[in-house]
Amino acid sequence: MHPRPHTAVIGLGAMGLPMATHLAAHLPVTAYDISEPRLAQLTAAGGTPAPTPADAARDAHVVLLAVRDQQQVDTALFGEHGAARTLRPGATVVLTSTVGPDHARTTAARLAENGILTVDAPVSGGPVRAGNGDLLIVVGAEDKALDLARPVLDLLASTLTVVGPRPGDGQALKAINQLLAGVHIAAAAEAIALARGLGLDPETVVESLRHGAAGSFMFADRGPRMVETYENDAAPEVKSRLDIFVKDMGIVTGIARDAHVPVPLASAAQQLYLLGERAGLAAHDDSSVVTVLSPKDPKDAKNPKLPQSPESPKSPKSLVSPDRKGEGR
């Protein structure tokens, strides 16, 4: 185990950037992202930018992937300029993205063909906690891979749980985390929508209930942003895109189906996020899903208009989901 492993971070999105800047205060860090402003922020924090994932990983002992989905994982590792082209045998890839157990196992198998180890380590906690090294990280990895990645993981996590010895084990527990998080956000949206329908002040409702038995982390965190949605003309700052939960709840319901376990609440929450995506909210903060249940304009609540199918020639452009190739998570 190298005490200060050279670490490459690929993906400087909402989670990748704060993780990279925190690591750069303690370790040599090289990073890649498509966003020049984010690379500049990493440089200001002491990191080194790279023009491609392959260049970022060239001298790395550990590569930390913080991208959006499996398609971006494949591009970052195995694409024309992918990190796997330059990583040396014995290097370790830390997969922090939520991609599901099967994808994690497939990725690990492809890397193993080149002698590269994999630590399945999806993260939870949000950007602020990422920047403070205060994340919850759940790990599936063999001992050798975990030992090599441990200096990086220990800097990022306040709670690190080793779930099992295989890539995919961490993803399984992260899916359960996302089940709870997704349902809690959907429940918070229903509560605030009902409060508005009853003529109550949503801000008072959030402030009162967040401290009681009905409160949750998601209610306390997303509730104020849902209130902000109604109070301001501009949408709240995007801290977690709505289409992230479209992806994650799809993973949850998919693996539950394969395990023959009914998840009716998760399935209902998934439909709410899909409705939000169809309404053009994919790139908005996930708290904006409340407007699907209680529109900002009262007239929309009296005369709701269901989104048309994207295949319909009459489908308005505003309902077409935006491109998802944005910043990594």
User: Structure tokens of 159?
Assistant: 């709670």
**Do 4 and 154 meet the contact criterion of CB atoms below 8 Å apart?**
no
- Looking up tokens 């700052």 gives 237
Q: What sign does the CA torsion over 293, 299, 302, 307 have?
A: negative
**Do 185 and 218 meet the contact criterion of CB atoms below 8 Å apart?**
yes
**Do 127 and 14 meet the contact criterion of CB atoms below 8 Å apart?**
yes
Backbone φ and ψ of 140, nearest 5°? -125, 115
DSSP string for 27-92: S-EEEE-S-HHHHHHHHHTT-EE-SSHHHHHTT-SEEEE--SSHHHHHHHHHSTT-GGGTPPTT-E
Q: Is 325 a catalytic residue?
A: no
Distance (Å, whole) CA 33 – CA 56: 10
What distance lies between CA 18 and its chain's CA centroid?
13
Buried b (16+ CB within 10 A) or exposed e, 184-204: bbbbbbbbbbebbeeeeebbe
Closest C-alpha among 52, 62, 88, 75 to residue 8: 62
Active-site amino acid positions: 174
